[in-house]
Amino acid sequence: MTEDRIYEVLHEKKPVPPEGFDERIHLQMARLRTQERPKARIRTALVVAVSLVLVIGATTALAAFNDDVNQLLYQIWPRAALTLKPVNLVSESKGIRMEVVSASLCGSESIVTLTMQDLEGDRIDETMDLFDSAILQLPYDGAGTCIQTGYDPETKTASFAVYMDFKTDGRPVESDKVTFSVSSFLSHKKTQIVDLTPLVAGKVAEADSMPVPTIRGWSGSPKDGERDAASEKARQIRVLNVKDSLEIPVMEGVTLTGVGIIDGALHVQIRYTDIHHTDNHGFVTLADTDGRTYDESCLDQEIGSVSWYGENYDSWEEYIFDQYPEDLSKIVLSGEFVTAEPAIEGDWRVTFPLSLIRSE
C-alpha cells in the first residue's frame, strides 16, 4: 500500500476509537500479517538472594503502577477495562523489558496494555511513544491507535494502551494463537516554538516553482464529497523549487528551505530530517504585526499543505496560505517543531492463545 493511499485510508476509513483516546492518540495504519519468527527471549530470573530482593521490590512497584494504568483505562473506556484478561508475558531486547500486562479481544476490537522498562540506562522517559510499531498480529487488515498511559521515573517504566480494530467483515476472529509485538520506539523528544520571522525577512516575493514530486501526504478541508478531487489537485500543485533551497537551520533536524508567493498563495517550505527514524515534524503559523492571524483560514482551505520524500527519507513539507498580509513586510511566521533522536529498534514480542483474551 503506497504512503499516499495509507494517508487517504486513515482520513476516510479510520476507526472511531473510544471516547478519550481521540485527544491523546497518534493514528497509525498497519497491514497485519502473521509470520513465523523466532520466539522472543524471556528474561531468566536470578537466584542470587540480593537480586531476588531487588526483583521483588521492583515487582511490587510495577504492580502499583499497573493498577494506576488500569484505573486510567476505566475512566477512558470502561467496557474494555472490564473485559481485560491478564497476560503477564515478558520479552526483553536491547536491555529493554516489555511486559504485556493484559489484553482483550471483543468482536473485531482489541486493546492491549503493556509496560516498557529500561534495565540498563535512561532511554525511556515521559515523551516515549511506540512509533507506530505496536501491533497485535492477526490475519486481518486493521487500524489502531496508541497512547502512553503513564511514566514512572523511579523504575524507568512507561505504560501504554494499544487499541486496534480489525476488518473481519462481521466474521468471528479465527486463530489459535496471537502475537503482540513492538519493533521500535522514540523517546527524549523535544518540542520547540521558533520565531521564523527573522529568517524570512526580505525573502518573501514571487518565487520560482516546480511540480510537486510524488506526494506522501497532504492536508486540507475539502467540501463533502470532493475529497477525491482535492486529492488529485494536491498531486498537481506547484511548490517552491528545491534547487533554490535557502538551507537555513532552524533546529537539529529541521531546516527552512524556502518561502515565497506561488499563484497568489504564500508558500513556506520546511525539510524534516530522516523521519523514518526520528519522526521529526511540526507546523507553521502565520500572523501579521498588527496581531491578525491567518491560521484558521489555512485550516479551512481545500489544500493546506503537501509533503514528499527527499533523499535519506527526509520529508519536505510545504505549508500553503491562501490568505496573508498585503504588506509582505508585516508577515510574522512561527513554527512548532517536534524532534527526536533516532528510534531505538529491537524485537519485543510475546505469543499466547487467542482464547486467553477473547471476550464476546
Q: Per residue, what are the HEC states of 239-284?
A: EECHHHCCCEEEECCEEEEEEEEECCEEEEEEEECCHHHHCCEEEE
Alpha-carbon span 3 to 283, nearest angstrom: 20
What torsion do the CA atoms of 196, 197, 203, 209 make, to the nearest 10 degrees? 50
The residue with cell 497532504 is 218
Percent helix, strand and coil across the chain, each rounded to 5? 25, 40, 35
Buried/exposed 44-67: b ≥16 CB within 10 Å, e otherwise:
eeeeeeeeeeeeeebeeebeebbe
Q: pTM of the prediction?
A: 0.74
Q: What is the pLDDT of residue 147?
A: 86
Sheet of strand 215-219, all strands in order from the earlier edge strand to the far edge: 215-219, 305-309, 315-321, 265-272, 254-262, 248-251
User: Which domains, and CATH codes, for the chain?
Assistant: 3-188+343-356 (2.60.40.1630), 191-339 (2.60.40)
Which H/E stretch holds residue 7? helix 3-13
Is residue 48 a contact partner of residue 153, using CB atoms and an 8 Å limit?
no
Q: What is the pLDDT of residue 142?
A: 87
What residues have CB less than 8 Å from 319, skipping those under 6 apart? 267, 268, 269, 270, 283, 284, 298, 304, 305
Alpha-carbon span 90 to 100, nearest angstrom: 6
The residue with cell 470502561 is 78
The pLDDT profile of the chain, 360 residues, written as one tens digit per residue, is 333 433 343 333 334 444 444 333 333 322 222 222 222 222 222 222 222 232 333 344 445 555 666 666 666 667 667 888 999 999 999 999 999 999 999 888 899 999 999 999 999 999 999 999 999 999 898 888 888 888 999 999 999 999 898 998 888 888 889 999 999 999 999 999 999 999 999 999 999 999 999 999 999 989 889 999 999 999 999 999 999 999 999 999 999 999 999 999 999 999 999 999 999 999 999 999 999 999 766 678 999 999 999 998 899 999 999 999 999 999 999 999 999 989 999 999 999 999 999 986
Q: What is the pLDDT of residue 195?
A: 98
The residue with cell 530482593 is 53
Alpha-carbon span 237 to 259, nearest angstrom: 16
Q: What's the gap between Cα 25 and its chain centre? A: 8
